[in-house]
Amino acid sequence: MEITVQWIRTSWTKESRGGEAAARRNAVPSGFALPHAVAPFTHVIRMDERNGFKPYDSREEVGKADIQLREADGRLRVFPRVKPLFSLPPRPRRPPAVRILPGQWVRWQLNYRFSSASGIRDWSYWLDTFNIAYGPVNADVFLSEPTVLVDERGPVR
């Protein structure tokens, strides 16, 4: 079965926590049209403060995304990995994995706050949005409302 992953990472510092920069950051889409490619693949999009949150995209193998995907009994099990050990917010209890049927898709969002290892630099922030579709899709699939939405964003002050 075809699996299509779109991984959007938006990153910023305290400079984009308010005013016009925050408005630009908050206006970034949660989904983009897919490039013409044969599934399975991961459409990786990176946006950051330095570049005015302009999206830059690339393609990678599905296995390189920070997400666990497993097919069983006609469903796809989806569960993002949380790698950063020294980030906020703490995630003592995470939502369970989502299982979707062919023709469905899930959007899962997680956010993080980091300090530099020595504490010298200011805080930095990430928002990861994973859009995962199971089965054949058209290029505009992630521009619509997801079948399942998991919002795992927490307070990062």
30-78 pLDDT, tens digit each:
999 999 876 678 999 999 988 889 999 998 888 788 899 999 999 999 9
Residue 17 confidence class, pLDDT cut points 50, 70, 90: confident
pLDDT mean over 85-91? 67
Predicted pLDDT of residue 31: 96
Confidence band (pLDDT; 50, 70, 90) for 112?
confident
Place of tokens 């079948």: 147
pTM of the model: 0.90
